Structure 1
Amino acid sequence: MPSGDHGPGSISDDDPSFAQKLGYLFEHSRDENGVPYTGKKIAERANRLGYSLSDAYISQLRTGKARTPSFRTVEAIARAFDVSVTYFLANPEEDLDRVRQQRDYVALLATTGTFLSGADVGRLDPDTIDVLIDLLKVVKARAIDNPDHTNEGPSAPQDHSPA
């Protein structure tokens, strides 16, 4: 890992490899006695949790000789280190940013009384959500500036012909 003070659930912006993330855990995690973990100890812990993992394979993952562990292996290592599987799979900050972005979008939909029938927000890319958030902020600002304007939908056409 780069030399910043990143905790076991954090990673740097340059998205380190699996080997780097695993190496970081070995460097910074300690057992209940304060002793750094060894590959053997992590394999034993994983095996006690019901997984099948060898010290030799962990060594290959640490050095980068093995680069594509199965999800089950990633899960075993994560559980043995007592960290979330997402530590290895994604950039947690990026995931949190996306969740915050979607939360803001949904909140703006609610406060502006806007409905997107049939829209699957989870399938929208971040740039589209940003554009929609900006648009909804304008709608919200106009609603605040014109509180007398009710949101009753389009009005019926007026008939101006003589009776």
Structure 2
Amino acid sequence: MRNEEWNEHRDCAGEIESLTRTLNRLIEFAEERDGRRYTNREIAAAATTLGYAMSAAELSHIRLGRVRNPGFRKVEGISLALGVDIRAFLVDPRHNPCTGLDELEAPPARQSNPE
């Protein structure tokens, strides 16, 4: 995905969706899916463990809309920490005409090609 596409992500109807609102909805989705609440500290720690350095304060600023363009790698780290496909950030997961909620789960692990 090119930076221009990321900076103005759009849903299927062409409307710009707030990254902050989408992020908070995806966290709610992950909480409902997993039956538990996630703190900013837990999400940031998981992203950092996966190689996407992030602090709980930084995630809080993103969630509050104080950081308008956190960058693709931050959002990628958050999506991996939540176990959702990064494409879920492009549309509202609850009113998504392009994909169903079942498609928001993490993609299957790549299988090696036996030779």
Shorter-normalised TM-score: what interval? 0.5 to 0.7
Structure 2 equivalent of residue 30 of structure 1: 31
Q: 1:30 aligns to what SS in structure 2?
A: helix
1:12 Cα deviation after fit: 8.6
In structure 1, list runs of 5 or more residues that go unmatched. Answer: 1-10, 96-163
**In the superposition, relative to structure 1, how do residues 93 and 31 fare at CA in structure 2: closer, same or farther (>3 Å)?**
closer
Report the alpha carbon displacement of residue 42 of structure 1 after superposing the two structures with TM.
0.2
1:46/1:52 contact within 8 Å kept: yes
- Superposed CA RMSD in Å reads 2.7
Residues 19 and 63 of structure 1 are in contact (CA less than 8 Å); yes or no, is this contact kept in structure 2? yes
Tell me the residue number matched to 1:56.
57
Task: Spell out, residue by residue over 1:115-157, the C-alpha distance to the aligned partner (whole angstroms, 9 max, x if none).
Answer: xxxxxxxxxxxxxxxxxxxxxxxxxxxxxxxxxxxxxxxxxxx
**Percent identical residues:** 33
Whole-angstrom CA distance in 2 between matches of 1:33 and 1:17: 24
By how many angstroms is 1:70 displaced? 1.2
In the alignment, what sits opposite 1:40?
Answer: 41
The aligned counterpart of 1:80 is 81
SS at the partner of 2:28? helix
Q: Which of 1 and 2 has greater Rg?
A: 1
Q: Structure 1's 68 and 81: CA in aligned 2 closer, same or farther, altered over 3 A? A: same
Q: Secondary structure at the match of 1:29?
A: helix
Quote the Cα distance in structure 2 between the aligned partners of 1:84 and 1:27: 15
Shift of residue 84, structure 1, vs aligned partner: 1.1
Letter in 2 for 1:47: T
CA distance in 1, matches of 2:63, 2:97: 24
Asked whether 1:20 is paired with 2:21, we answer yes
- TM-score after normalising by structure 2: 0.61
How has the CA–CA distance of structure 1 residues 86 and 32 changed in structure 2, closer, same or farther, with 3 Å as cutoff? closer
Distance across 1 between alignment mates of 2:86 and 2:26: 13
Identify which of structures 1 and 2 has the higher relative contact order when contacts are C-alpha pairs closer than 8 Å and 6+ apart: 2
User: What is the distance in 1 between the residues matched to 2:12 and 2:25?
Assistant: 11
Which AA in structure 2 matches 1:34?
A: G
| Normalised TM-score (structure 1) | 0.44
Q: Is the 8 A contact 2:46 2:81 kept in 1?
A: yes
Q: Offset of 1:37 from its aligned partner?
A: 0.8
